[in-house]
A and B are shown apart, each in its own frame.
Chain A
Amino acid sequence: MRLTLALALCAAPAFADTREAVEEVILPGYARFTAAADALAEAAAQSCEAEALRPAFHEALDAWLGVSFLHFGPAEDKGRALAIWFWPDPKGLGAKAQRALLTGDPARLEPEDFRDQSVAARGLSGLERLLWPQDLPADPCPLIRATAADLARLAQEIEAGWQGDAGFAATLLTAGEAGNTRYLSPAEARQAVFTQMMAGLEFIADQRLGRPLGDEKPRPERAEAKASARSQRNVAVNLQGLRRLAAALLPEAEATLAAFDRAIAHGGKLKDPVFAGVADPAKHAEIALLRQYVKAIRAAAMAEMAPALGVGIGFNAQDGD
């Protein structure tokens, strides 16, 4: 069967763009995340000391943000992406559920039980609260270990879900073939990948930047990953991942890639790890400009990449009625 699949892939130069996205960006991205999550779980098994685990946490979150915008396939199944990084969480669902785990029956931390605990309590967002703790009601060590082990499992399941004949890579790359009911043509698969990129950019603009920038007044307390001081880094790493995806889909997308570079360069100049500057009018304008630049990437991709790839935004998805 593997041979059949390989032949099918070779015979399909018409959708090399999807294949490049899968083989050069998506699969290596998930592999990097699995390795980082494994390393974090191993480090946690060795030591529960927050200080010692932070580098592995940063590496794992960097790796996740390289692929976090992929909301299709194994990452969306069973709520895995939510369980890995649950943000934004305006009602504090994660902290609440996590407190219950810290003070509750230790049996719930056993792997078979822990995997069924709230998606808001687990994953890297859960670990961030434990590694940069604020008055924890109990020793966090067992929960740190359980969370890190569960994260490694999630990473492995996602990576495994992309592999093999029934894996999601094959689903994307056999688009239009008999038996593939998810994607009825190569254009649909291309459209799906493109849609992930566009939604990822929208999430940066509206959530990662939009929440602290605020609608009527600045909301610095809403910045992402404040505890680990990564708000700006998350945007930067996420944009790099999205740029890799764009370049794989359409290497000649010059205007789009230039728009990425402008946003990434401007973000790098902010030197404002938690976007505290939103409370200062001059700095607010600089962060708002970054949001404009991210929106400009979407506009460039819509104008340049969508026609070249023969895709658009959904007929109903954009409508609303």
Chain B
Amino acid sequence: MATRRGFLAGLASLSLPGIGWADVGSPAWLTAGRAGEDYVLHGLGPAGESLFAIPLPARGHAAAAHPSRAEAVAFARRPGTFALVIDCFTGALRHRLTPPGGRQFNGHGAFSADGALLMTSEVVAEGSQGRIGLWETEGYTRIGEWGSGGIGPHDMKRLADGRLVVANGGIETDPADRSKLNIDRMRPNLALLSPGGEVLEIAELEPALHQNSIRHLALVGGGVGFAMQWEGDPAEPVPLLGLWTPGGAPILCPPAPEDAFTMQGYAGSIAASGGRVAISSPRGGAVMVFSDQGAPLATLRRADICGLAPLGTDFAASDGGGGLWRIAGDELIPLRHAPVAWDNHMVPVG
């Protein structure tokens, strides 16, 4: 243990101060993937070129990019027991974050605007009550936690004014094997937290949609777009996209009728760009683009597509077959193809 701690301390002392994202090639996105049997975190340029690739010890889920320092936090798939703070200049592991006893990371995190605070979505292992873990970012020590306002928080997004929206997916999972324990009585919500962690507002879906797990978020206008995963009868056509501006009720955005089942009840990622919102379904092999008012505009097909991020006023997308794409109108335009199975999310940098 002493040796290990010494090793980590040694790595940390090697990292150079003042290294920003421009020093690592100004990546547009961070995205995790699998190359052969190895897991990696790539920094990708806007043309899909890899600017750096850093090995990960296990399959990643999402990452969070520090707003100024070339530093990424890579989260393991939920429920996770570690998150890695990675120096994207040297590739060195700076810190390994471990949640306190009885807590598990739940896949996502966000930095405060000044980069001084890292917030991590977590659950209390027994019962999946949500927490937002708080870490200062000089030495990445745990400094506290907030209630997330629900069960099973997943993604979170910071609004421009510093308030935080948390997607509480509502699903209680077995701490050991991810099996879902409360599907019949789950109640997902969107929680708005003050910059100090006080729950200001909770928005829920209508009761008939209580099995629509709210999982991923994108900033849309003064609020969020939210992507859902349906845990109910797959034969029921349900909306998988919603829009929520705090102070109002969530607005649901059903797909065009002929696309009622295209996504197979599953939206894996969401992004907003150019006055539009896109959601992806690797199960359905499709991306759906909506207006930022929720009107369906286009459906694009590509097997195992999942990662989504803004690209100018268009979108970028990634898939498990190694494809990186630009979505322009109703067309998928190839950016690049790499021997990497891209994981669920593309995380914008900066």
Which residues of A lie under 8 Å from residue B233 when comparing CB positions?
90
- Confirm or deny: B262 has a beta carbon within 8 angstroms of a beta carbon on chain A: yes
Among A78, A82, A181, A314, contact of B320 (Cβ-Cβ < 8 Å): A314
Interface segment among B14-22, B89-97, B302-310: the answer is B302-310
Which residues of B lie under 8 Å from residue A76 when comparing CB positions?
262, 301
- Confirm or deny: A319 has a beta carbon within 8 angstroms of a beta carbon on chain B: yes
Q: Are B343 and A315 in contact (CB under 8 A)?
A: yes
Interchain nearest-CB distance for B67 vs A (Å): 25
Closest chain A residue, CB of each to CB of B286: A76
Closest chain B residue, CB of each to CB of A90: B235
Query: Which residues between 287 and 321 of chain A lie within 8 Å of chain B, taking CB atoms?
Result: 314-317, 319-321
Residues of chain B at interface, number, CB under 8 A: 42
Interchain nearest-CB distance for B220 vs A (Å): 22
Q: Assuming the A-B contacts A188-B321, A207-B235, are A314 and B304 also in contact, with contact meaning beta carbons closer than 8 angstroms in the complex?
A: yes
Interchain nearest-CB distance for A100 vs B (Å): 14
- Confirm or deny: B334 has a beta carbon within 8 angstroms of a beta carbon on chain A: yes
Q: Which applies to chain A's interface (DSSP): helix, strand, loop or mixed?
A: loop
Q: Are A181 and B304 in contact (CB under 8 A)?
A: no
Interchain nearest-CB distance for A171 vs B (Å): 11
Q: Assuming the A-B contacts A76-B262, A207-B235, are A195 and B303 also in contact, with contact meaning beta carbons closer than 8 angstroms in the complex?
A: yes
Closest chain B residue, CB of each to CB of A315: B320
Which residues of A lie under 8 Å from residue B321 when comparing CB positions?
184, 188, 191, 314-315
- Confirm or deny: A146 has a beta carbon within 8 angstroms of a beta carbon on chain B: no
- Confirm or deny: A144 has a beta carbon within 8 angstroms of a beta carbon on chain B: no
Q: Are A82 and B261 in contact (CB under 8 A)?
A: yes
Closest chain B residue, CB of each to CB of A195: B303
Q: Are B301 and A182 in contact (CB under 8 A)?
A: yes
8 further contact pairs, Cβ within 8 A, besides A79-B258, A119-B258, A182-B301: A188-B321, A191-B303, A211-B235, A314-B321, A315-B282, A315-B341, A315-B343, A316-B282
What are 9 A-to-B residue pairs whose CB atoms are below 8 Å? A79-B260, A89-B235, A119-B258, A314-B303, A316-B319, A316-B344, A320-B229, A321-B77, A321-B107
Name B's A-contacting residues (CB within 8 A): 34, 61, 77-78, 107, 229, 233-237, 256-262, 266, 268, 282-283, 285, 301-306, 319-323, 332-334, 337, 341-344
